[in-house]
């Protein structure tokens, strides 16, 4: 459910663009982003940092698009957001006891520190690459192609990347505790 809520501004942008154009889509994405942050606040009584960062970027770049009637600002938004995410993941690699990837997954997955470092840096690389690909699409293809890439391309790249990370994680997850538990349960059932 959270995944859908996080992608809601992109989905709204896509649908409104198809019917009303880039400027109406930009205004709608700004509005839905405000609603998204407000909903999170009402539900949890706190703000998610990434949502707020995304809201600020879409408000600034989307606002510039609307005020200056220049669609290039909103087209740079995915790059700006991805590069901000890359910077946050990179900073977390050097600051604090746990990097961002470890802080999110450590409760459920036990991995060696070197694996956490590789996973975190792979997210940095992913966000940098997706931001760069967005710039390429912006300057080499039509607005319609860019809008389709923004929804389907970025979503597809993200799903592929998460699958690759899951495969990588599976190779490094220590299941020795689970197998000990299973064998203990089996022994108890036999007696």
Instruction: Report yes or no: 136 and 78 within 8 Å, Cβ to Cβ.
Output: no
Residue with tokens 């050097």: 94
Classify residue 167 by burial, with Cβ atoms within 10 Å: 0-12, 13-18, 19+: exposed
**What gap in Å lies between CA 6 and CA 20, rounded to an integer?**
23
Report helix, strand and coil shares of the chain as percent, to nearest 5. 85, 0, 15
DSSP, res 152: I
Task: Give, for 74, the enclosing helix (H) or strand (E).
Answer: helix 72-94
Distance separating alpha carbons of residues 79 and 168, to the nearest angstrom: 26
Buried b (16+ CB within 10 A) or exposed e, 177-187: eeeeeeeeeee
Q: Could you read off the pLDDT tens digit of each residue along the chain, which spans 191 residues? A: 565 667 788 889 999 999 999 999 999 999 999 999 998 899 999 988 888 988 999 999 999 999 999 999 999 999 999 999 999 999 999 998 898 888 888 888 888 888 999 999 999 999 999 999 999 999 999 999 999 999 999 989 999 999 999 898 888 876 555 444 444 444 555 55
Output the pLDDT for position 33: 93
66's enclosing H/E stretch is helix 49-68
Instruction: Give the model's pLDDT for residue 171.
Output: 85
Closest to 61 measured CA to CA, from 52, 71, 51: 71
DSSP 108: T
SS3 132: helix
State the Rg of the chain over Cα: 20
Angle, helices 154-172 vs 2-20, to 10°: value is 160
């Amino acid at each position: 459910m959270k995944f859908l809520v996080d992608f809601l501004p992109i989905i709204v942008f896509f649908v409104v663009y198809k019917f009303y154009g880039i400027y109406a889509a930009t205004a709608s994405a700004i509005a839905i982003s405000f609603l998204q942050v407000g909903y999170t606040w009402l539900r949890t009584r706190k703000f998610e940092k990434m949502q707020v960062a995304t809201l600020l970027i879409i408000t600034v770049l989307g606002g510039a698009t609307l005020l200056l009637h220049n669609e290039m600002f909103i087209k740079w938004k995915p790059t700006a957001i991805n590069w901000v995410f890359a910077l946050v993941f990179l900073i977390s690699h050097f600051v604090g006891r746990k990097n961002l990837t470890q802080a999110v997954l450590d409760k459920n997955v036990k991995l060696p520190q070197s694996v956490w470092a590789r996973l975190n840096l792979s997210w940095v690389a992913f966000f940098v690459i997706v931001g760069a690909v967005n710039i390429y699409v912006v300057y080499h293809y039509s607005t319609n192609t860019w809008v389709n890439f923004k929804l389907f391309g970025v979503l597809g790249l993200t799903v592929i990347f998460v699958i690759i990370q899951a495969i990588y994680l599976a190779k490094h997850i220590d299941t020795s505790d689970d197998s000990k538990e299973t064998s203990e349960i089996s022994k108890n059932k036999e007696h």
